[in-house]
Structure 1
Amino acid sequence: MRTLLALARASHAAPTVVVTGLAVLLGVEAGLAAARVLLVGLAVLCGQLTIGWSNDLLDAGRDRAVGRTDKPLATGQLATRVVTAALAGAVVACAALSLALGWRAALAHLVVVAAGWAYNLGAKSTVLSWLPYVVAFGTLPAVPWLALSPPALPPWWMLAVGALLGAGAHVVNVLPDLAEDAVTGVRGLPHRLGARASGVLAVVVLLAGTATGVLGPGGAVPPWAWSVLLAAGALAVVSLGRPGRTPFYAAMAIAVVNVVVLLVRA
């Protein structure tokens, strides 16, 4: 049980659960049968596990250098061979489950996973650190839609909201670790911009995602959607330029709003 809990922590459990849950809800919105929704969820779960475990394996040295007590590999609570074995199993399961969705959906999902691996393998230390997130989140809505029979593409605005959500999620995810990353030589776009400018960027990008989700579907915009857009805009205006972590918290709130709009407006 202790090993399983350590593996869960090493998998980056929170984002793994969030992305898997989002994929499942997108599958329901796309109209997939229950069995296919479950299959999408399992495939995405395994893919996210490979991203999380590979990240901790690759970053174990950095995590030890900065004394990360929340990383089981860095603290010695989890053996490298155990994570390696779990990673290998997740890779095989991810490939098999993805292929069971059909080659189109499998290809889309493997793009999502490949983007996560690209980030782990070095993109996070470049000025293009945002790109894997944009590709992954922008492609994710296509996975359940391409698993339909016959396969279909999701609306353009859904892909756009996903891409903007990914860009904002990257900045929000990196902001708490800027100081520790600097010690180990990680210099992605948020590191180069600095905490304050990155917080502002996250708010602006995520607000653009909210606007796309509200206005993108076309037709009459329901009153609640206008209210959501105005509330997100007000939150952005209040937080922009504020010192400290205010933009960070505002960006997190707007990111949640984007997910809700993405699902409800679909």
Structure 2
Amino acid sequence: MSRHPLLHSARLLALSSHPLPTCAVTVFAGGLGLLAGNSIARSLLIAVCVLAGQLSIGWSNDFLDRGRDAAVLRADKPVALGEVSSRLVLNSAIAAAVLALLLPLTLGIGAAGAAWVIVISGWGYNLGLKATVFSFLPYVTAFGALPAIATLALADHAFPVWWAWAAGSLLGVAAHFANVLPDLLADEATGVRGLPHRLGARGSAIVGPLLLVAATGVLLLGPSTSWSWWRLVILAAVGAGAVVGAVVGVRRPGRRPLFAAMIAVCALDLLLFAVSGGTLR
């Protein structure tokens, strides 16, 4: 036991929040806020609003799945291992959810509505959609709503352009496949059969990278009326990387190469959009 019980509990809570995807989505939301034209302070507020929602989703996931995680001996789940109180995780999830419902109101009712879509989608996934053929739908709605928070938080409360919705949704479904792939066997052993499970490890390892390429293509070509050579070169490079990720994903489904690739592609997409001169609205 740590000499500092509060710090020890905080560390275990952080590990129970799905820290990598939580941080990735939070940074992505803040970056979209800046690209939409929000101030740094307002973009940070957007990030905090999304962070609260992601924490509530991550904690509720580990609380609801604690029995299944324990059954398959998940060593990366402090709740399932009994290292942190399930009551503490549940209370933290509820507190974060309340904050995620109230804090976005400071951005305006439109942006708040988009933020609520993300939270409701995540909780819906945790409460049962994850075990159905429609497991991808919460990712479509949640990631598709991310650009809307950024643009609806502006003074004119504008909706994002079509390709921003489309790219966000495609990235979301790609994230779903990449995140589930390493846990396919453990999930199936406990009765969870979402869309990736039904397609299998090989099918998921192929579909995930294809979705990443499609999302990048939409972001590169959507805001442009001309097919600039550098856009095509970058799209080809992402495609080549996707092929490598697919091969690794098929051969080593227990690793997380596709998820790491998804985060890298998201960062690249943000950078490319920033230098392209496009606009989210």
1:15-44 superposed Cα distances (whole Å, 9 cap, x missing partner):
111000000111111111222112111111
Q: Which residue in the other structure is 1:107 paired with?
A: 113
How far the C-alpha of 1:94 sits from its partner, in A, is 1.1
Q: Structure 2 vs 1, CA of residues 251 and 232 (structure 1 numbering), >3 Å: closer, same or farther?
A: farther
Please state if 1:16 is matched with 2:22: yes
Aligned residue type for 2:257 = Y
Distance 2:68 2:38 in 1: 42
Q: Which residue in the other structure is 2:269 paired with?
A: 261
Distance 2:182 2:130 in 1: 15
Q: Which residue in the other structure is 2:210 paired with?
A: 204
Q: Which residue in the other structure is 1:245 paired with?
A: 252
Distance 2:263 2:217 in 1: 12
Q: Unpaired segments of 5 or more residues in structure 1?
A: none
Distance 1:33 1:224 in 2: 30
Q: Which residue in the other structure is 1:191 paired with?
A: 197
Match of 1:138 among 114, 132, 144: 144
Aligned to 1:83, what secondary structure does the other structure show? helix
Is 1:206–1:251's contact at 8 Å kept on the other side of the alignment?
no
* Structure 1 range deviating more: 228-237 or 196-205: 228-237
Q: Structure 2 vs 1, CA of residues 257 and 123 (structure 1 numbering), >3 Å: closer, same or farther?
A: same
Q: Structure 2 vs 1, CA of residues 30 and 84 (structure 1 numbering), >3 Å: closer, same or farther?
A: same
Aligned to 1:233, what secondary structure does the other structure show? helix
Distance 1:83 1:254 in 2: 28
Q: Structure 2 vs 1, CA of residues 47 and 251 (structure 1 numbering), >3 Å: closer, same or farther?
A: closer
Q: Structure 2 vs 1, CA of residues 254 and 34 (structure 1 numbering), >3 Å: closer, same or farther?
A: closer
TM-score by length of 2: 0.88
Q: Which residue in the other structure is 2:92 paired with?
A: 86
How far the C-alpha of 1:87 sits from its partner, in A, is 1.7
Q: Unpaired segments of 5 or more residues in structure 2?
A: 1-6
Equivalences, count? 266
Q: Structure 2 vs 1, CA of residues 70 and 240 (structure 1 numbering), >3 Å: closer, same or farther?
A: closer
Q: Which residue in the other structure is 1:235 paired with?
A: 241
How far the C-alpha of 1:263 sits from its partner, in A, is 4.6
Is 1:127–1:188's contact at 8 Å kept on the other side of the alignment?
yes
Distance 2:258 2:185 in 1: 21
Q: Structure 2 vs 1, CA of residues 26 and 263 (structure 1 numbering), >3 Å: closer, same or farther?
A: farther
Aligned residue type for 1:154 = P
Is 1:23–1:40's contact at 8 Å kept on the other side of the alignment?
yes
1:200-230 superposed Cα distances (whole Å, 9 cap, x missing partner):
1112121111111111112344443222101
Is 1:164–1:208's contact at 8 Å kept on the other side of the alignment?
yes
Aligned to 1:194, what secondary structure does the other structure show? helix
1:53-91 superposed Cα distances (whole Å, 9 cap, x missing partner):
100110011011111121111111111221122122212
How far the C-alpha of 1:250 sits from its partner, in A, is 5.8
The percent of aligned pairs where both chains have the same amino acid is 48
Q: Which residue in the other structure is 1:124 paired with?
A: 130
Aligned to 2:154, what secondary structure does the other structure show? coil
Please state if 1:217 is matched with 2:230: no
Distance 2:237 2:65 in 1: 39
